Amino acid sequence: MKRGKRYELLVKTFEQKRKYDIREAVELVKKNATAKFDESFEISMNLGVDPRKADQMVRGTVSLPHGTGKDVRVLVFCKTPKDKEALDAGADYAGLEEYVEKVQAGWTDVDVVIATPDVMGIVGKLGRILGPRGLMPNPKVGTVTFDIEKTVQEMKSGKIEYRVDKTGNMHSGVGKCSFTTDQLVDNVTKFYNSIVKAKPQTAKGRYVKKVVLTSTMGVGIVIDESTIKND
């Protein structure tokens, strides 16, 4: 596979076959984030699970201590007066019929969708649109709730949802490359430990097989999991 000149330059800045200390890896990713915009700082984990089996699905949420650095757009499906509560808490959109119609027409320009339990009978019909985009409200990850104010504030402040893909990989943005090294180490540590704690009881063998840090336009740097502190 032919690589670009930028890629060839970046891979010369580190040892590709080496596993790096978490702090070293973070600093390398930050150093290599030379794009003209503030690149996202990303983590990828290869897990020893079979996501085709329901009892080996790894899914949940985690609140990053320093947020994601991203303006999270939140939509809340609810009835009055919960819509006012949602908007007062910082939601970008809140209501029911109007937004159901917009989504049915193809609008999905949001990052998180929350719904109150009493409207899930209606929202459930949007599963074919929201599901493939990872936006379908789910009680298991806390996005189906009557506690709208708390949930909206958590999502706005850096609570993210994670879900293993069909190949056993987990991928998420955990900050921006403009964050300090300490902030990124904290966020990576929190995310990693959340995934470890979510290990399915039926998963056999080695659970975390590989952890890689990178940026939007960067190259992957493998980290030594033993250098990540348990929380």
Residue range 52-96, pLDDT digits in tens: 899 999 989 899 999 999 889 999 999 999 999 999 999 999 999
pLDDT at 2 over 60: no
Question: Are domains 15-67+160-227 and 74-157 of this chain identical in fold?
Answer: no
Overall average pLDDT of the 144-169 stretch: 93
**188 near 200, Cβ under 8 Å?**
no
The β-bridge relationship of strands 59-63 and 159-163 is: antiparallel
- What CATH number labels 74-157? 3.40.50.790
Q: How high is the pLDDT of residue 231? A: 75
**58 near 198, Cβ under 8 Å?**
yes
Q: Is the dihedral of CA 109, 114, 119, 121 positive or negative?
A: positive
Q: How high is the pLDDT of residue 119? A: 97
pLDDT at 199 over 90: yes
* CA distances in angstroms from 71 to 39, 85, 163, 176, listed in the order given: 14, 20, 21, 12
Domain ranges for the chain: 15-67+160-227, 74-157
**15-67+160-227 sits in which CATH class?**
alpha beta
* pTM of the shown model: 0.80
Query: Residue 210: CB partners within 8 Å, gap ≥ 6?
Result: 45, 46, 222
